[in-house]
Amino acid sequence: MIGNHRLNYANITNNEGKLVTQIITLIHSKGILSIAYLTSEGKYSGSDSGNWYVKRTENDSEKKFKIENPTIYLKEYNLHLSNALDNRKTQSLIALPDNTDITNLHPTYKVIKYSDLPEAIKEADCGYGLNDSDIDEIYEKLGGKVSRK
């Protein structure tokens, strides 16, 4: 188990204000994990080098949709996160629905399916520990409100 933890949600938009990806930041006893998650099923292809991922629907291999590459925004988010948190190391991954083909998706970040998320969270370890007050302090730095008893 990960013990005490806090979640911070972020909607990431491009320069035109269009939603690109959503990121959950998990602050827990073994560090900070950023999870970019996409909600659309299909067959994805792409890597860090391009500005776009290509998504095909499962039953139509000819029809393609371009979506902005979430790794670009995850990298930028993590840079801001690290700066806001005194350069603490963070871990990151990309999560996609279970009915998604990710065999042609090759970003630097680990890519998993939603059903693999609990195990990935358990395995996440930034190499430093956080106690309950550290977790609350980081959460507050990210705009969260902690009720004190």
Which of 56-60, 64-68, 100-104 tops mean pLDDT?
100-104
* Domain-located, residue 87: yes
Domain count, the chain: 1
Quick one: three-class SS letters along 36-99?
A: EECCCCCEEEEECCCCEEEEEECCEEEEEEEEECHHHHHHHHHHHHHHHCCCCCCEEEEEECCC
pLDDT of residue 89: 87
Which of 19-28, 40-49, 60-69 tops mean pLDDT?
19-28
- Side chain identity at residue 13, one-letter code: T
Q: Whole-prediction pTM value?
A: 0.84
Q: % helix / strand / coil in the chain, to the nearest 5? A: 25, 40, 35
* Domain-located, residue 146: no
Alpha-carbon distance of 23 to 14, in angstroms, equals 14
pLDDT of residue 92: 93
* Domain-located, residue 33: yes
* Domain-located, residue 109: yes
Residue-range definition of the domain harbouring residue 99: 5-141
List pLDDT tens digits, range 95-112.
989 988 888 888 888 899
* Domain-located, residue 115: yes
* Domain-located, residue 25: yes
* Domain-located, residue 149: no
* Domain-located, residue 59: yes
